[in-house]
Structure 1
């Protein structure tokens, strides 16, 4: 087997410049999004203390999925994205569908993040034009992605550090308030606030079930480490360490933060429209709490946008390699900096369309709908990745000495069934039904067109010129 760990530059010109420090913080940054800082109050209000169970279950499922992805990437660290294994083990058509689906999903989520960034900037500068902020931010992050992968790694490292610092400070401040039995407007800070009057389904089982897809999407992005592998210095050393730390990170940064929040404020007393971090810091006497958390969520959104641009560039490059159409030929080149520059620039241009679409009243609702559909499509891609992992296990390429998914015979079907259950649960939520149907329509339509084009080509009907 080729010793890819020793290679500093890949055969296609991409470079292995990401270190263990970069990948560890990228993994952590991908796990912690704006959902925790802004949306945790709403999740807690809907589900009560049982939200801890939701986070714990989903944390375990995502950890197991990452172990499956880690096993695939460990076996072949030269792949630019974990989705390449779908092509390898489920067939070219399935892989082509997954690549386009994931890329489009990344583009639409990035559009939403760009819109969010401008709103957070306007917190301080309300007179600044939205389109100016978005253009400047997108241009800056595109430059970060074009110069070198190491610069991207450094940027993500410090973005993630800001998020981690905010959570750690909140946990320390919160624990101090609990141990001092701090008086609050609704009582005293105490862990007893979590268990007092506990009911599993305080707002009905439907709210509990609806919390799973809501929290599921807050974990979205954890798979990002499966995209950095081909540009990591020592993937077979770094990957196992980073992935095995995921459970601990979820325990501390998600469950730990939520436990502290509910210990300070009885869950019935939280304001669902205000960040729980703002509520805790204001209670501790930090007058500038809203401004501080706005800065944190601004960096969180910018971090997500930076990562999505990196991911979109690599996936579009993979689409170009995967496609035989001549139109994609220019995108198969790697720049001297070791970056798929044309894929990054094209993806950035697509992201810039988002704010334009969102600003048009006639299609703003359609934009929100498409963004929801693209989020749902991640579940289908995750499901296909797990099926590809099962095929790998049955193939001759399977390495029994590799970085193996634990208790595979039990955990693999468990994760697959759970993903199916989460998608089905979207139909129990009124606002989730149409996007869930849209996801199924996209899947059926894309695969149907692929089958039709293939059949026409096989029968000599297709006249489109392709580049073999």
Structure 2
């Protein structure tokens, strides 16, 4: 096939450099799996359904692995693509490709805005643990962080990869340290006194480390089957953007060797970093102890474990890592948004769009697409100053999370079409039993979307997502009506 050797060249074919090594990609994959939700949101998920949340994380992790196998097979076939969205255009048509491409880029921008806001919040919280109030400087903090991330993305792709490597190392170190701490506490039969946790409305009771913290009152659905069902939705959003590693393929050295390894290790990463962390947490903190504060927030389980272990500066430690996790997410979102806009610009007809399809001479990156994406993300602190905008912003951000489900489904449908097309590479990175596994993943995503209508805080985003699909999707299909598929 013509594309058989595409992964062997030193460049991506359009001027970009294959500057990401195997080490970079493996840690980018790990970083894409671990978000701030594990550090801050796992308490809420444990409170929702108890120890059975472990089964939920494993189950959803398997589905996301199937999605990544589909993306991996497509990217293995054509490792010069800067985004998996290109395959939707190729195998489902330009209409769906246009819908998915622009929707995905907008989703990246909205999530980037949300992450930028989160970075500012976490930074203020981190210094607040030392009695330093930086709330008045939050806007400047966000500007500095975003500027730093844009610069990292503009210098060279290898600089981006190195940054993500160290961001991931910090996250991994905290998780492993917490797991080791929990194991030592269990082995030694550690008992801890009652203590007040930072950001918690009550005094946490005294207790001990042991397996009985998990087994006492153990039930598959301790808070009812509806709560158990809704936990799948929560965990799904914790895995959101796991597909990012697929975007790096076109700038990776030896992509056909590196990509399968990165994807095949997803299950192992889920078991270690999610299941391992959750088990460690519940070995120390009885699962029934997790309950919300008056404002609905939950204390970080990581803070609780280290605080029980006697680490007085646990909150500062965890929020430092959370800052790196949010920064990593923002960095990756900028990278992905830049590449997606660059690829969208390739199909553009206006001079403005064509100008975005350019590569910088020194960094060999899509600089204009990155800068434009960064400027739009920077609107976040400005828009938050507008009266009444914050609730609207949260609504649209939640809507973007719903829209990404459509993109996942379209990707799986494109993969099915690929398997029956002349492009199919029988000796490629084959998704096992694709008819069954692909259908299973699609059914799961449909179920997750339907579950959005059951909760008041996700119902309106789900409705807006459907409106976006019908209106913008309809416009894209009408605009590209009659255009043939680009399959060979």
Equivalent residue, structure 2, for 1:45:
47
Distance between the aligned counterparts of 1:285 and 1:29, measured in 2?
28
Q: 2:353 matched to 1:328?
A: yes
Measured after TM superposition, the shift of residue 454 of structure 1 is: 5.1
Q: Is the 8 A contact 1:77 1:235 kept in 2?
A: yes
| Contact 1:206–1:428 (8 Å) recurs in 2 | no
Equivalent position to 2:30, from 12, 28, 31 = 28
2:152 paired with 1:135: no
Aligned residues: 457
Partner of 2:432: 406
Structure 1 position 249 matched with structure 2 position 275? no
Q: Distance in 1 between matches of 2:479 and 2:425?
A: 36
The Cα offsets for residues 11-59 of structure 1, whole Å up to 9 and x where unpaired, read as 2101100000000000000110000000101110111111111101001
Q: Matches of 2:303 and 2:31 in 1, distance apart?
A: 20
Q: How does 1:279-290 map to 2 (within 5 A)?
A: 279-290=304-315
Match of 1:363? 389
Structure 1 Cα separation of the partners of residues 480 and 163 of structure 2? 43
Normalised TM-score (structure 2): 0.91
Quickly say closer, same or farther: Cα 1:445–1:148, change in 2 above 3 A.
Answer: same
Q: Post-superposition shift, 1:193? A: 1.9
SS at match of 2:17: coil
Return the alpha-carbon distance in structure 1 between the equivalents of residues 233 and 179 of structure 2. 26
**Deviation digits for residues 230-275 of structure 1 (CA, Å, limit 9, x no counterpart):** 0001100001111111100000000110011111111011354210
- Deviates most, 124-133 or 365-374: 124-133
Shift of 1:452: 4.5
User: Which of 431, 448, 453 matches 1:427?
Assistant: 453
1:135 deviates by 1.0
Aligned match of 1:126: 133
Write the deviation string for residues 259-315 of structure 1: whole angstroms up to 9, x where unpaired.
111111110113542100000000101110000001000000000000000001001
Of 313, 318, 330, which residue of structure 2 is paired with 1:293? 318
Q: Is the 8 A contact 1:96 1:322 kept in 2?
A: no
1:359 CA displacement:
2.5
The partner residue of 1:93 within 86, 91, 95 is 95
Distance 1:168 1:73, change over 3 A: same
2:34 aligned with 1:8, yes or no?
A: no
Query: Residue 186 of structure 1 contacts residue 269 of structure 1 at CA under 8 Å; is this kept in 2?
Result: no
Please tell me the root mean square deviation across aligned C-alpha atoms, in Å. Answer: 1.4
Cα separation, 2, equivalents of 1:323 and 1:207: 46
Deviations along 1:164-197, whole A, 9 cap, x unmatched?
Answer: 0000000000011111121134432112221221
1:252-401 maps to which residues of 2 (within 5 A)? Answer: 252-272=272-292, 273-336=298-361, 337-401=363-427
Question: Distance in 2 between the 1:405 and 1:452 partners?
Answer: 32
- Greater displacement, 288-297 / 358-367: 358-367
Match of 2:443 in 1: 417
Q: Does residue 172 of the first structure (1) align with residue 209 of the second (2)?
A: no
Residue from 73, 78, 81 that aligns with 1:79: 81
Distance in 1 of aligned mates of 2:478 and 2:433: 40
What secondary structure, in the 3-state scheme, does the structure 2 residue paired with 1:55 have?
A: helix
CA shift, 1:390, in A, is 0.2
Q: Distance in 2 between matches of 1:329 and 1:81?
A: 18
Are the counterparts in 2 of residues 282 and 289 from structure 1 also a CA contact under 8 Å? yes
Aligned mates of 1:202, 1:360 — CA distance in 2: 42
| 1:204 and 2:242 are equivalent in the alignment | no
**In the TM superposition, what whole-angstrom CA distance separates every residue of 1:126-164 from its partner, at most 9, and x where no partner exists?**
235111111111111100000100000000000011000
In the TM superposition, residue 325 of structure 1 has moved relative to its aligned partner by: 2.9
Contact 2:402 / 2:449 at 8 angstroms: preserved in 1? Answer: yes
Is the partner of 1:122 in helix, strand or coil? helix
- The Cα offsets for residues 53-72 of structure 1, whole Å up to 9 and x where unpaired, read as 11010010011111111111
Q: Answer yes or no: is the 8 Å Cα contact 1:333–1:340 preserved in 2.
A: yes
Instruction: Provide the rounded CA distance (Å) in 1 between the counterparts of 2:55 and 2:386.
Output: 40
**Alpha carbons 2:416, 2:435 under 8 Å: kept:** no
How far apart are the structure 2 equivalents of 1:187 and 1:406?
A: 46
With normalisation by structure 1, the TM-score equals: 0.95
CA distance in structure 2 between the partners assigned to 1:90 and 1:68 by the alignment? 15
Whole-Å separation in 1 of the counterparts to 2:12 and 2:76: 16
Gaps spanning 5+ residues in structure 2: where? Answer: 193-204, 293-297, 484-488
Which residue in the other structure is 1:116 paired with?
A: 118
1:208-238 CA deviation, whole Å, 9 max, x = no partner? 1111111111111210011000000110000
Aligned to 2:105: 103
2:90 counterpart of 1:63: no
Rounded to whole Å, the distance in 1 between the matches of 2:476 and 2:7 is: 37
Per the alignment, residue 159 of structure 1 pairs with 167
Contact 1:186 1:265 (8 Å CA) reproduced:
no
